[in-house]
């Protein structure tokens, strides 16, 4: 059975993937001062980075509304099931709003089949799960079975972060200016991880970016001894060359079967800042 795959703006996918597999994207909102943009629709990534660098304050982000999801779901043919992979509900109201949008539509069209999964991840983590959906779909796996398998995969997805700068954490109030100044002076780089509940926690503080990136690659081995037969997904915040070098190190050390490299969208890049990396893979 065919079905419609839907993601929100917390997913980072290539345009080629979106178009080739007819993926519907419900964008999140980015606010610079008093102006609101739909990320990916009326705010491209180059303009986003320019505006962010020029701004004294970090842009605000907000979830798509229940009405946004209602209309996105309603556009899909009534006879086509919908599978939505939502940004972790512990970082955004996106998942909850998608569920409300689903309920709004089911009040009108009770026979609709809509499955919404809290991925407990973001960025390349959702790209990884989208890739698994596509593989299952191409193997003619039933819609219900795909949804159940992806729920299991969401629990097994490990997502690791490396931040080059703490500037955006300071601007966003997640790190006070005194500690931020010390971190910058000492060249401290943060390594972070999506927790089992889908929140983001700092795992290590490393001096120097080379050491931090080396440690990022090492951390993979703490969750999966090998990536043989698996996929590694990575998103980068305006630092493709660095991302490819890190991918090469991962390839040499863990031998993944498949690699996905995408550019980080405005939602995650707002907090990660330029030079940030996110890597995702399925645990053993």
Least confident of 103-107, 176-180, 263-267: 176-180
| Whole-prediction pTM | 0.92
Final residue before a domain boundary, out of 132, 156, 180: 156
Provide the pLDDT for residue 284: 80
What confidence tier does 5 reach under pLDDT thresholds 50, 70, 90?
very high
Least confident of 1-5, 103-107, 132-136, 154-158: 1-5
102 with 53, same domain?
yes
Q: How many domains does the chain have?
A: 2
Q: Which has the higher per-residue pLDDT, 204 or 109?
A: 109
70 with 193, same domain?
no
179 with 275, same domain?
yes
131 with 248, same domain?
no
Q: Which has the higher per-residue pLDDT, 83 or 43?
A: 83
CATH number, domain containing residue 30: 3.40.50.10170
Which percentage of the chain shows pLDDT scores above 90? 63
Provide the pLDDT for residue 128: 98
104 with 184, same domain?
no
Provide the pLDDT for residue 34: 82
162 with 150, same domain?
no
74 with 171, same domain?
no
Could you tell me the end-to-end alpha-carbon distance of the chain, in angstroms, rounded to an integer?
30
User: 152-188: per-residue pLDDT in tens?
Assistant: 999 999 999 887 765 555 455 544 454 544 445 445 6
Q: At what angle do helices 209-220 and 240-254 cross, to 10 degrees?
A: 40
Is the predicted pLDDT of residue 35 greater than 90, yes or no? no
Q: How far apart are CA 274 and CA 146, in angstroms?
A: 35
CATH number, domain containing residue 189: 3.30.1180.10
Domain span including residue 91: 4-156
Provide the pLDDT for residue 178: 44
25 with 145, same domain?
yes
192 with 206, same domain?
yes
Q: Which residues pair with 235 in a beta bridge?
A: 262, 278
> Contact, 273 vs 168, CB < 8 A?
yes
């Amino acid at each position: 059975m065919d079905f419609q795959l839907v993601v929100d703006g917390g997913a980072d996918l290539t345009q080629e993937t979106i178009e080739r597999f007819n993926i519907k994207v419900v964008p999140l909102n980015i606010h610079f001062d008093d102006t609101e943009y739909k990320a990916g629709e009326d705010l491209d990534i180059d303009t986003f980075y320019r505006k962010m660098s020029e701004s004294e304050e970090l842009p605000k982000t907000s979830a798509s509304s229940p009405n946004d999801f209602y209309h996105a779901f309603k556009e899909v043919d009534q006879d086509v099931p919908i599978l939505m992979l939502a940004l972790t509900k512990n970082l955004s109201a996106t998942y909850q709003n998608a569920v409300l949008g689903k309920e709004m539509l089911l009040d009108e069209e009770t026979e609709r089949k809509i499955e919404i999964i809290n991925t407990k991840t973001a960025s390349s983590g959702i790209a990884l799960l989208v890739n698994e959906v596509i593989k299952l779909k191409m193997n003619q796996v039933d819609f219900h079975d795909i949804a159940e398998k992806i729920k299991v995969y969401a629990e097994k997805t490990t997502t690791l972060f490396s931040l080059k700068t703490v500037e955006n954490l300071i601007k966003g109030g997640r790190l006070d200016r005194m500690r931020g100044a010390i971190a910058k002076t000492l060249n401290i780089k943060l390594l972070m991880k999506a927790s089992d509940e889908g929140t983001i926690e700092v795992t290590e503080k490393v001096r120097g970016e080379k050491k931090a990136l080396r440690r990022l690659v090492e951390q993979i081995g703490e969750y999966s001894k090998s990536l043989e037969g698996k996929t590694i997904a990575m998103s980068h915040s305006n630092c493709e060359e660095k991302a490819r070098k890190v991918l090469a190190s991962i390839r040499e050390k863990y031998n993944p079967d498949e690699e996905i490299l995408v550019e980080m969208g405005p939602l995650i890049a707002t907090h990660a800042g330029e030079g940030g990396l996110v890597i995702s893979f399925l645990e053993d």
